[in-house]
Amino acid sequence: NFRHFHPTTCKSMAIGTQSRQCLSTAVVGAGAAGLVAAKELLAEGHRVTVFEQGPVLGGTWVYTPKSDEASRPSPGPGVAEGRVYTSMYRDLRTNLPREVMSFLDFPFLPDAMGGRSHDTRRFCSHSEVLAYLEAFTDAFSLRHHIQYDTTVTLAEPLPAGHENGLTDAAAVSSNGQRAEANGHTSHGNGQAACEDLPWPRWRLSLRQAQRKGSKQRHVSTQDFDALLVCNGHYTDARWPEVAGQEAFPGRISHSHNYREPSSYKGQRVVCVGASASGTDISREIASTADEVYLCERGWDGDVQSHPAAGPRGNIHKRPGLISLRSDGRAEFEDGSFSQPVDAVLFCTGYLYSVPFLSTSAVVGCDASQSSIEPLYRHLFPPTAAPTLALLALPWRVVPFPLAQLQARWVARVLSGKVAPPTHEELRADSAAFYKEQQEEGRRSRDAHYLGEHQWGYNEWLARSCGEPADIASTPWRIAMNNQASMGRRAAPEDYRDRDDTIDAKAISAAHADFA
């Protein structure tokens, strides 16, 4: 249903003349999405509290050598205490150039980071990304809006009668004209926006981390006009069912728990999954393991004639893993077997999880936790828009600028600067999306996959915000992103350090744009 993102379906609007409404807003999570959401909400004059369960900001980018080390299954949903949140590994370098990852108005360039940069490489370390998020937080004075060590354990709509009473009158410009965005006219007649439905308000139950020496744990509730969920989706491991794994004598782990390769020294290892993490991690492990079998589902190359790859020539490409044997061998889709192996590492991705949303009638995960539904354009649950929004769900995207545009749109809808989608559009558009998904037999796992369609999605968001359509889909951003993908495929071992991975024209266009 990506044609919905075609920019011609959207109208831009004149901004600046409307009176504003300023709401109390809660953001769940102080990762990249939560931080940029706070920045955009503040820019619209809203009051903002960011609740972060951990003691620091940065989410995924906060590396720790600790891991859950639990074998399967996943130890439970994201609000469980004592879990290691991040899936970051020690030697990770980004797979996107820093320019591409940049937020729209804060370049990810060493010079712009206020002395925090310690790694000037284009494809930099995770600590440099964290330093960028810290610099961003300071540049927009977000720190005192963040409440650390506070887990949102429950978010529920307040009962009828406690609604906002908010109206879209604020969407009426001072000269009496209606604000137009997204092809709709807002109604401004004293009724709430999103047609005639009231905007729900939200009650959050909060749990403070236990202080040292204290037996008490502080729990409380707070009410907000709007809730932006930015809780990430790279923590709950996806463990595939593989026949025979109970009898397999070796170690079985998931990339969520992978930190560095030393424990695989001298071993034979099967890495399952050959997308970004699988490709990188198999190379790391191959630096110390004897042999690594890298499995990619559906790969139909010729095992016999396919040369072993990797820095030590010990990575053997194989099709998908179908079973594990009690003698330690792994069986692949083409019927071939490995030598007995010591370990299997699943690099098979993650599940969506919003355990604190008590709104199964409104929105929730599908049965296999592969997507969150129903949603209007990956963002608004149709019956709770626009005061409940779930940000940064799409995958195979450039997440920072995409989340920023989503946040900008939500913030401007809430302030009345741009008109929200009508109730009928919310309903019809999301119904069409799921119908098409079913008719085309797409996996629910691909519901939030955007890939190439991210640029059209960004354009649609930008226009909906009243911004130039290409603000996040500039030719240089698209070109650099595509060049990084091609480099990753062609030269996984050194694309990050080669001068010819990203062309100089795109780099200078990016820098000119930032300037």
Query: Under the rule (CB under 6 A), what is the footprint of ligand FAD?
Result: 28-34, 51-54, 59-61, 78-79, 85, 87-88, 92, 94-96, 101, 151-152, 230-232, 234, 277, 356, 392, 398-400
* Residue 77: closest CA among 477, 359, 357, 466: 357
C-alpha torsion 413→79→361→161, nearest 10? -60
CB of 470 to ligand FAD, least distance (A): 19
**CB nearer to ligand FAD: pick between 31 and 420:** 31
CB of 258 to ligand FAD, least distance (A): 9
**CB nearer to ligand FAD: pick between 79 and 428:** 79
**CB nearer to ligand FAD: pick between 324 and 391:** 391
Q: Determine the 3-state secondary structure of 18 from DSSP.
A: strand
Please tell me what DSSP assigns to residue 322: E
Decide: residue 448, CB within 10 A, 0-12 exposed, 13-18 middle, 19+ buried.
buried
Q: How far apart are CA 256 and CA 350, in angstroms?
A: 8
CB of 93 to ligand FAD, least distance (A): 8
Number of H helices, E strands in the chain: 9, 21
Residue with tokens 């108005």: 105
**CB nearer to ligand FAD: pick between 40 and 52:** 52
CB of 263 to ligand FAD, least distance (A): 18
Distance from the Cα of residue 63 to its chain's centroid = 17
CB of 130 to ligand FAD, least distance (A): 10
Amino acid at position 68, single letter: D
Interstrand relation of 236-237 and 350-351 (parallel, antiparallel or unpaired):
antiparallel
**CB nearer to ligand FAD: pick between 29 and 200:** 29
Amino acid at position 480, single letter: M
CB of 169 to ligand FAD, least distance (A): 33
DSSP states along 423-434: HHHHHHHHHHHH
**CB nearer to ligand FAD: pick between 22 and 154:** 154
Amino acid at position 30, single letter: A
Do the Cβ atoms of 505 and 491 come closer than 8 Å? no
CB of 426 to ligand FAD, least distance (A): 23
**CB nearer to ligand FAD: pick between 130 and 179:** 130
Do the Cβ atoms of 71 and 61 come closer than 8 Å? no
**CB nearer to ligand FAD: pick between 85 and 433:** 85
Q: How far apart are CA 359 and CA 155, in angstroms?
A: 8
Do the Cβ atoms of 342 and 328 come closer than 8 Å? yes
Beta bridge partners of 389: 228
Q: Determine the 3-state secondary structure of 16 from DSSP.
A: coil
**CB nearer to ligand FAD: pick between 79 and 507:** 79
**CB nearer to ligand FAD: pick between 230 and 450:** 230
What lies within 8 Å, CB to CB, of 88 at 6+ separation is 60, 61, 62, 63, 64, 126
**CB nearer to ligand FAD: pick between 123 and 248:** 123
**CB nearer to ligand FAD: pick between 34 and 261:** 34
Do the Cβ atoms of 386 and 199 come closer than 8 Å? yes
Q: How far apart are CA 13 and CA 177, in angstroms?
A: 12
Within 13 Å and on the Cβ side, how many CA atoms surround 73? 7
Instruction: Give the max Cα distance, the chain.
Output: 78
CB of 500 to ligand FAD, least distance (A): 20
Amino acid at position 241, single letter: E
394: its two tokens = 């799409």
Interstrand relation of 219-224 and 268-272 (parallel, antiparallel or unpaired):
unpaired
**CB nearer to ligand FAD: pick between 109 and 303:** 109
CB of 281 to ligand FAD, least distance (A): 9
Do the Cβ atoms of 230 and 218 come closer than 8 Å? no
Distance from the Cα of residue 265 to its chain's centroid = 33
CB of 206 to ligand FAD, least distance (A): 8
CB of 186 to ligand FAD, least distance (A): 29
CB of 261 to ligand FAD, least distance (A): 15
CB of 146 to ligand FAD, least distance (A): 10
